[in-house]
Amino acid sequence: MIWLTWRQFRAQALTVLVLLAAAAIVFLVTGLRMHHSYAADLAACAPLHACDGATPAARALGAQIYQLQRSYEPMFMLLQLLVIAVPALIGIFWGAPLIGRELETGTHQLAWNQTVTRTRWLAVKLAVVGVAAIATTAIFSWLLTWWAGPLDQLKGDRWAAMTFASRDIVPLGYAAFAFALGTTLGLLLRRTLPAMAITLAVFVAIQILVPALVRPHLLPSTTTTFPINQASTSQFHGFSGSQTEFHFDLPTPQGAWLTSQPPVQNSSGQVVRIEDYSGCFPGLDGGGQGDDPDLGQIGACLAKDNLHQTVTYHPASHYWPLQWMETGIFLVLAGALAGTCFWWIRRRQN
């Protein structure tokens, strides 16, 4: 049975092997070069934020590092997209035809009448191709996580939706899920193409919905309320605003994931505008941003109005727990889908 699964999977496996090899070369060649440049730039200025420091030399180095990041930005986005796409492609090209194609062409009638039970047939197929799916995704994820190391540090944003979903272990959960989803749809619909299409649609929907609706709520987040007065605003890093609202850049812990940043509100919870307090914002009328104005002074001016601004965030320490939880959730879903497949196979209603 393992021989049969491999023999049927052979062409797809070789295709992916070739693609993986090509990708690995791209990753390695560009990655080594980038890591080298980064290390060289970094060596020239010790801790990162010191590169934004006061001396022209430090600032020049800072600009150079920033240039490094910008030059790799397009490739960064592309490779992230690739690693996010890998589970989807696996679900579509490995999952949907796994059982779907057999049902479509009738070859299941050939397989199910040999001296192998259906359950074993399904189990071996799922196991062999499933393991291949997770291994392939793991390699891609590992390559990207290594490759993007310096850029992730520079950008300081591991929490961006595309970034979180393409690093470390989360892609494995997605791979297992997409594969199981494709297989189940192929089994239930008995047609490969519709199964492929629906798998893609569901996957895209999940990539859009999970970061916004699910991920933030997997662990309790912290909400801090900052009163607007001189003491607090002198700690802030800047502010920005529009016609209808404004907010300050609050001093949140480094590496935190800001999940909710409502604008400045008054004590009754209403959003307030710059022009309501135009006296405290000299030289600006209803629009603009800048950290040139003295924030402490603005705060002193606004103190009497009892304003506040809240922010909700996950600290940096939540990164790995959230990775594990999200991976776990999708592994469980994959298991449930696989269970559905086994149940359906045993029903013999054809």
CA distance 240 to 263: 10
CA distance 318 to 253: 12
Q: Which is nearer to another protein, 115 or 270 (CB)?
A: 115
Q: Which is nearer to another protein, 115 or 225 (CB)?
A: 115
Q: How far is the CB of 107 from another protein (least distance, A)?
A: 5
Q: Identify whether the C-beta of residue 20 lies closer than 8 Å to the C-beta of residue 139.
A: yes
Q: How far is the CB of 178 from another protein (least distance, A)?
A: 24
Q: Which is nearer to another protein, 58 or 111 (CB)?
A: 111
Q: Which is nearer to another protein, 67 or 105 (CB)?
A: 105
Please give the angle made by the CA atoms of 322, 157 and 240, to the nearest 5 degrees. Answer: 120
**DSSP character at residue 252:** P
Interface positions with another protein (CB under 8 A) = 1, 3-4, 7-8, 11, 105-107, 109-118, 347-350
Q: Which is nearer to another protein, 124 or 284 (CB)?
A: 124
Q: How far is the CB of 191 from another protein (least distance, A)?
A: 16
Which residues make Cβ contacts (< 8 Å) with residue 71, sequence separation at least 6?
A: none
Q: What is the CA radius of gyration of the chain?
A: 26
What DSSP assignment string belongs to 149-202? HHHHHHH--TTSHHHHTTSTTHHHHHHHHHHHHHHHHHHHH--HHHHHHHHHHH
Q: Which is nearer to another protein, 108 or 215 (CB)?
A: 108
Q: Identify whether the C-beta of residue 245 lies closer than 8 Å to the C-beta of residue 253.
A: no
CA distance 265 to 273: 9
Q: Which is nearer to another protein, 117 or 244 (CB)?
A: 117
Q: How far is the CB of 105 from another protein (least distance, A)?
A: 6
Classify 142 as helix, strand or coil. helix
Q: How far is the CB of 3 from another protein (least distance, A)?
A: 5
Q: Which is nearer to another protein, 81 or 110 (CB)?
A: 110
Q: How far is the CB of 110 from another protein (least distance, A)?
A: 5
CA distance 165 to 132: 20
Q: Which residue is listed with tokens 């590092």?
A: 65
Q: How far is the CB of 345 from another protein (least distance, A)?
A: 10
Q: How far is the CB of 10 from another protein (least distance, A)?
A: 9
Q: Which residue is listed with tokens 């307090």?
A: 277
